[in-house]
Structure 1
Amino acid sequence: MTSFFLSEALQQSQTRHLEDLIEWLKIPSVSSDTSKIGEVKQAAKWIADKLKDAGLSVETIPTQGHALVYAETPEVANGPTVLVYGHYDVQPAEPLELWTSGAFEPTIRDGNLYARGATDDKGQVLTHVQSVCEWLASGKPLPLQIKFLIEGEEEVGSANLERMLPELADKLACDCVVISDSSQYADGQPAITYGLRGIATYELKVQGPSKDLHSGSFGGAVMNPAIALCHLMSSMVDDQGRIQIRGFYDDVRELSAEERAAWKQLSPNDDEFARSAGAKELFGEKGYTADERRWARPTFDINGLTSGHQGEGVKTVLPAHASAKFSFRLVPDQDPQTITSALRSHLEANLPKGVTMDLKPDHGAPGMLADTESVYMDAAKAAIESAFGKPPVLIREGGSIPIVTKFQETLKCDCLLLGWGLSDDNAHSPDEKFRIDDYYRGIAASAVLWEAMGTLQPVDPFAEGAELPSKLW
């Protein structure tokens, strides 16, 4: 791709761009923590002010929870409209003792910026904000309209945005949604993600006796709720990771031969992948590679277990209750509500005598696939290669961004998932980081993307008579 007119300005602005990110990361905008409501509002105001100062029209949209920040540049006649989506809320930082430096005290080490939210998602969404700010500061008009929707509840399921999306559809109308909340395939190998797994999350409580009992006096005569809970959890999956709920795989979309062949060419190294995860060896469903299992197969994971004495020393109690938080990662065509119904039947059938259960579904979303043959995909490939020095590969991602499928359904738009992070960035874990050079490269790729997309004519792939791509690969 030809040289980009903003390249020198982007180089000269790197220090300011990094200072902006550090300032935003200092705000502990943990959406799940009710004691942090003020900080979440502060993070929303920070990004709203940043966009407003750059000259965008900005609106803070209240919800039943945390606000949406919406901004837009002027319309461009005969040009496409792009919606950039991201989130300003972050995961809790606990366990705090496992952080090398403070979770909300951004620290630079070995070319990385360490802080909660560095890669998920403040750092990544800020790349697009910075690129648009630089475009507007240059005095050269953008060749397309860009809208921003940056929310404060992605880490808790985006329920308010999902509920409000139909009434916001006209405001958010676009030809393509651009999201950076994922990763490159590997260090030095950029990627475009064309598929996400869905998710279904739950909390299960098992109740036994009315109070904790002496395990010597009552053990063996009264069902232990913690043992009952362990029985239920182990009944859900076999020793190869295959889920045992009746009908769970009925709607699973199998991988195409083309996809499996393309992914094998990425030359994944299982030992290296295990090292990056801090695991001694890999585990998973037989017949599938590690990439296939984490990108395109459904999984079950226990996210937390609570019961009995948790303090120092021994306390020999038979606990009154036990609870587990767990989740399924789903693949395209699996429906969270169908999974919930099958799950409830499975648990009820396997519940040991002497205890009762209460299953509470939390948030859920189906998986998604993007069109790999769209003109927007071609523009993204060229922009990424110009900034990262290497063409991107096409991958899927095992994580979930629940609102993406709703964007596709409601806005009838294309979708680009452009990840600037790395798989070892520790998203959701202690010592979350974002490589500073990738932050700069993300800004450059974003700036080039607007130029590349500005040459395209708006396309409505859902219009009557439109020719749809013959495949999604």
Structure 2
Amino acid sequence: MSRMTWLLGAWVSTIASMSAFPVHAQTGEPAVIAAWTAAHQHSLLDEFEAFLGMPDVATDKAAIRRNAEVLVRMMDKRGLHPRLLENADRSAPPAVYGEWSVPGATRTLVIYAHYDGQAVDPAEWSSDPWKPVWRRGRLDVAPEIVERDASKPIDPDWRLYARSASDDKAGVFAILAATDALKANGLLPTANLRFFFDGEEEQGSPHIGELMRLNRASLRADAWLICDGPVHLSGRRQLVFGVRGDANVELTVYGPKRPLHSGHYGNFIVNPALKLARLLASMKTDEGRVAVAGWYDDVVPLGAAEKAAIAAAPEDDAGLLRDLGQVTAEMPGTSLAEAINQPSLNINGIRVADVGAQARNVIPTEARATLDLRLVKGNTVEGQFGHLRAHIEKQGYLVLDRAPTDGERTSHAKIATVTLESGGYPASRTPMDLPIARDVAAAMRTVAGDSLVLTPTMGGSLPLYLITEVTGAPTLVIPLANPDNNQHAENENLRVGHLWDGIATLAAVMRLPSAAAAGD
């Protein structure tokens, strides 16, 4: 028995015996890719850990550019002809572009992921977010720190803890590792491949439209495949046909012009924290519906195929609620799959004075909140923002897009500054019956079997609307991270078995049926 065969056997048997996630037996090309991955797992993880060790907070332009330069080197050694895509004045984080052209290929795919990450508060992490740490599992289940032994196959349930481990350096690295696996086994893609790694997705990709327009010829494709997000809650692989849109709103309400002692002025001057709390509470009903007039008016209903896909997907909302320590869903009687196909209004954060050891007896000058508006197909950023602004006015507020003047303060009891942040975009949803979507699903089934889940929309947001608007290409999302990965939060993690699954899935998709074979 060869070492590769032994590693593959050990890898599959370990998953089957220990993992709570579903396993599909591999044959043919998927088995070859899985065997290669098993044989090279430690060298792959060495490179991935080094990549994760580079801080990549989206707002740190210098750090993002360092990541881009390293990514160029990672792609160059794989023969993917990388280059940076810059906006006109080079002021924005670059995208990293690469390509793998195939003689005679009649289709082109752009494969997208992003290499920037969310901000971190190291004090909230159980380990340094920029020093990847291995644990036996999830922190609340198997938090023990472990070390890799390069002489042994790694347990697929082990998790790597670091910022961007799942969102979305996992996607970037799985794409690169899939090209490694194909090249090592003499397998060519069946379509020309273009790679687009976004450097500002966590800021809403405000320059992606400009970058695509400047490089339109290079990015023309039959489809864009987006590697981001978690697999289905059941742990099964999924192909997602859409995402919600996103917009962020900054909201500030005002108290006195200077901070006041709450003992001397309490019951006389209204605390802006109370104003903000009442205003935010007015935006949702006790049943979880957004109480802003017009919020649901423009929603494009799901079609028959989309409703059928939701009905066919495995569902365990009760189990999810138990896992999260909750008794009921926000919208009782509405499943998670149904809920993410409706527009939402979330409070990202509230800031007013201080709490705990830093608390003081004070009436502060202002209270602020950042609101996250998630859009579905039919909503527009401007439309939802307009509905929200009108709602705040109906609560008796003078609504401004700037700080109030002294004259406005003395003539209005309620004043709010409401501004729409840049970088928002509408939702996107690709028809489920497109031939290219059928072929991608068929390729994914070579590794997933009949367990593949087709999902009309995921809950998160990506700039898919902009991609289709500029390039004309449809978009499909191929998630690979474990569902409980803590993305955007402290202790973000990636289950390594999902990384291996992602490499196998992407290698299969790169070998999807040719246009001629598919009959397009």
Q: Same fold (TM over 0.5)?
A: yes
The corresponding residue for 1:61 is 85
Name the SS for the 1:200 alignment partner: strand
**Segment drifting more, 257-266 vs 107-116:** 257-266
Q: 1:211 to 1:178 in 2, by over 3 A?
A: same
The corresponding residue for 1:225 is 272
Q: Partners in 1 of 2:228 and 2:458 — Cα distance? A: 12
Q: Partners in 2 of 1:48 and 1:314 — Cα distance? A: 48
The answer on 1:370 being equivalent to 2:430 is yes
Corresponding letter in the other structure for 1:149 = F
Instruction: Give the C-alpha shift of residue 381 in structure 1.
Output: 2.6
Q: Is 1:76–1:143's contact at 8 Å kept on the other side of the alignment?
A: no
Q: Partners in 1 of 2:498 and 2:469 — Cα distance? A: 31
Name the SS for the 2:417 alignment partner: strand
Q: Is 2:240–2:458's contact at 8 Å kept on the other side of the alignment?
A: no
Instruction: Give the C-alpha shift of residue 19 in structure 1.
Output: 1.6
Name the SS for the 1:327 alignment partner: strand
Q: Partners in 1 of 2:258 and 2:331 — Cα distance? A: 40
Q: 224, 231, 255: which one pairs with 1:208?
A: 255
Q: Is 1:198–1:399's contact at 8 Å kept on the other side of the alignment?
A: no
Corresponding letter in the other structure for 1:416 = L
The answer on 1:401 being equivalent to 2:461 is yes
Q: How does 1:363-442 map to 2 (within 5 A)?
A: 363-388=423-448, 390-442=450-502
**Segment drifting more, 150-159 vs 235-244:** 235-244
Q: Partners in 2 of 1:231 and 1:13 — Cα distance? A: 57
Q: Partners in 2 of 1:275 and 1:27 — Cα distance? A: 36
Instruction: Give the C-alpha shift of residue 238 in structure 1.
Output: 1.0
Name the SS for the 2:278 alignment partner: helix
Q: Which runs of 5+ in 2 are unaligned?
A: 1-25, 137-157, 398-411
Q: 1:435 to 1:131 in 2, by over 3 A?
A: same
Q: Is 2:377–2:429's contact at 8 Å kept on the other side of the alignment?
A: yes
Q: 1:273 to 1:456 in 2, by over 3 A?
A: farther
Q: Is 2:295–2:343's contact at 8 Å kept on the other side of the alignment?
A: no
The answer on 1:326 being equivalent to 2:371 is yes
Q: Partners in 2 of 1:14 and 1:455 — Cα distance? A: 33
Q: How does 1:8-87 map to 2 (within 5 A)?
A: 8-32=35-59, 34=60, 37-63=61-87, 64-74=91-101, 76-87=103-114
Instruction: Give the C-alpha shift of residue 24 in structure 1.
Output: 0.6
Q: Is 1:208–1:355's contact at 8 Å kept on the other side of the alignment?
A: no
Q: 1:270 to 1:139 in 2, by over 3 A?
A: closer
Q: Partners in 2 of 1:308 and 1:147 — Cα distance? A: 49
Over the aligned positions, Cα root-mean-square deviation in angstroms equals: 2.3
Q: 444, 449, 458: which one pairs with 2:509?
A: 449
The corresponding residue for 1:103 is 129
Q: Partners in 1 of 2:516 and 2:39 — Cα distance? A: 29
Q: Partners in 2 of 1:150 and 1:419 — Cα distance? A: 15
Instruction: Give the C-alpha shift of residue 354 in structure 1.
Output: 2.2
The corresponding residue for 1:465 is none
The corresponding residue for 1:247 is 294
Q: 1:141 to 1:289 in 2, by over 3 A?
A: closer
Q: Is 1:408–1:414's contact at 8 Å kept on the other side of the alignment?
A: yes
Name the SS for the 2:369 alignment partner: strand
**Segment drifting more, 145-154 vs 342-351:** 342-351
Q: Deviations over 1:373-432 (max 9, x none)?
A: 233323333333333455311114443433211111221112221111122111111121
Q: Is 1:114–1:432's contact at 8 Å kept on the other side of the alignment?
A: yes
Q: 392, 407, 422: which one pairs with 1:347?
A: 392
Q: Partners in 2 of 1:412 and 1:81 — Cα distance? A: 13
Q: Partners in 1 of 2:55 and 2:518 — Cα distance? A: 39
Instruction: Give the C-alpha shift of residue 286 in structure 1.
Output: 4.8
Q: Partners in 2 of 1:435 and 1:281 — Cα distance? A: 27
Q: 1:145 to 1:377 in 2, by over 3 A?
A: same
Q: 1:223 to 1:430 in 2, by over 3 A?
A: same
Name the SS for the 1:248 alignment partner: coil
Q: Partners in 2 of 1:148 and 1:135 — Cα distance? A: 16
**Segment drifting more, 357-366 vs 213-222:** 213-222
Q: Is 2:244–2:459's contact at 8 Å kept on the other side of the alignment?
A: yes
Q: Partners in 1 of 2:261 and 2:235 — Cα distance? A: 58
Instruction: Give the C-alpha shift of residue 13 in structure 1.
Output: 2.1
The answer on 1:144 being equivalent to 2:191 is yes
The answer on 1:134 being equivalent to 2:194 is no
Q: Is 1:51–1:133's contact at 8 Å kept on the other side of the alignment?
A: no
Q: How does 1:266-277 map to 2 (within 5 A)?
A: 266-276=313-323
The corresponding residue for 1:302 is 347
Q: Is 1:383–1:452's contact at 8 Å kept on the other side of the alignment?
A: yes
Corresponding letter in the other structure for 1:129 = L
Instruction: Give the C-alpha shift of residue 314 in structure 1.
Output: 4.5
Q: 1:405 to 1:269 in 2, by over 3 A?
A: same
The corresponding residue for 1:3 is 28
**Segment drifting more, 49-58 vs 352-361:** 352-361
Q: 1:261 to 1:139 in 2, by over 3 A?
A: closer
Name the SS for the 2:487 alignment partner: coil
Name the SS for the 1:288 alignment partner: coil
**Segment drifting more, 373-382 vs 41-50:** 373-382
Q: 1:209 to 1:426 in 2, by over 3 A?
A: same
Instruction: Give the C-alpha shift of residue 303 in structure 1.
Output: 0.8
Q: How does 1:149-188 map to 2 (within 5 A)?
A: 149-188=196-235
| Superposition TM-score, scaled by structure 1 size | 0.89
Q: Partners in 1 of 2:519 and 2:416 — Cα distance? A: 51
Q: 1:409 to 1:163 in 2, by over 3 A?
A: same
The corresponding residue for 2:331 is 285
Name the SS for the 2:478 alignment partner: strand
Instruction: Give the C-alpha shift of residue 173 in structure 1.
Output: 0.6
Q: 1:2 to 1:300 in 2, by over 3 A?
A: same
Instruction: Give the C-alpha shift of residue 324 in structure 1.
Output: 0.4
Q: Is 1:78–1:458's contact at 8 Å kept on the other side of the alignment?
A: no
Q: Partners in 2 of 1:397 and 1:99 — Cα distance? A: 31
Q: Partners in 2 of 1:97 and 1:447 — Cα distance? A: 38
Name the SS for the 1:309 alignment partner: coil
Q: Is 2:310–2:456's contact at 8 Å kept on the other side of the alignment?
A: no
Q: Partners in 2 of 1:383 and 1:437 — Cα distance? A: 20
Q: 1:76 to 1:184 in 2, by over 3 A?
A: same
Q: How does 1:253-272 map to 2 (within 5 A)?
A: 253-256=300-303, 259-272=306-319
Q: Partners in 1 of 2:171 and 2:213 — Cα distance? A: 26
Instruction: Give the paired residue count.
Output: 454
Q: Is 1:253–1:332's contact at 8 Å kept on the other side of the alignment?
A: yes
Q: Partners in 2 of 1:439 and 1:257 — Cα distance? A: 33
